[in-house]
Amino acid sequence: MYLQLKPQRKNNPETAVSTKINHLAVWILIVVYFLIGWGWYAIFGEKWLNLHARTMTDIEHTHNVSAYVLAFLGSIAVNYTLAVLIARTNPTSVWCGLKVALACWFAFVFMEYATISVFSAFETNPWPLICIDMGRPLLGMALTGIVLGAWRKAT
């Protein structure tokens, strides 16, 4: 079986698949998603550092420009992937976009991170730390799903 890229019946709006992406919304969300990380760790950073047994000085010495570039590229990848998936589902409401985003978060972030944390002999992360680390993408992806479900480009 293969993935069909074009709808069979273009004239029927119920079976037509939308591939229109609101690029303005996506680029705004890319910046917002990137900034959520800053806000998230401004709130939970002290607890996060304590759970890692680190100090702010330890973190400041390891973060350089490349870490922020990688985070921004990750924001682009996450938001455009969600934009494509949400557009392909042809959402009719905010909730449709949110469902796609939450399904992606659960399948690709939560399950992977939880599995690594539970089964890796080298990971001894307590659940509060795991929740802090997984909460940021949950918030970002949920916000992306809500916005893209609601703010669709006019056809």
CA-based nearest residue to 88, from 103, 74, 75: 103
Residue 155 lies in a domain: no
Q: How do residues 90-139 score in pLDDT, each as one tens digit?
A: 888 899 999 999 999 999 999 998 888 777 656 667 788 888 999 999 99
Residue 8 lies in a domain: no
Residue 14 lies in a domain: no
Residue 3 lies in a domain: no
Residue 113's pLDDT is what?
A: 87
- Please provide the average confidence, as pLDDT, over all residues in the chain: 84
Residue 43 lies in a domain: yes
Rounded-to-integer distance, Cα 149 and Cα 117, Å: 32
The number of distinct structural domains making up the chain is 1
Rounded-to-integer distance, Cα 155 and Cα 153, Å: 6
Distance of CA 67 to the CA centre of its chain: 17
Bigger pLDDT: 133 vs 76: 76
Q: How do residues 20-31 score in pLDDT, each as one tens digit?
A: 899 999 999 999
Can you give the residue range of the structural domain that contains 85?
A: 23-150
Residue 16 lies in a domain: no
Residue 153's pLDDT is what?
A: 53
Alpha carbons within 13 angstroms on the beta-carbon side of residue 24 total 4
| Helix (H) / strand (E) containing 99 | helix 94-104
Instruction: Specify the 3-state DSSP secondary structure of 7.
Output: coil
Residue type, 19: T
Residue 128's pLDDT is what?
A: 87
Residue 4 lies in a domain: no
Residue 74's pLDDT is what?
A: 96
Residue 91 lies in a domain: yes
3-state per-residue secondary structure call for 68-91:
HHHHHHHHHHHHHHHHHHHHHCCC
Residue type, 27: W
Q: How do residues 1-56 score in pLDDT, each as one tens digit?
A: 444 444 444 555 555 556 789 999 999 999 999 999 999 999 999 999 998 888 88
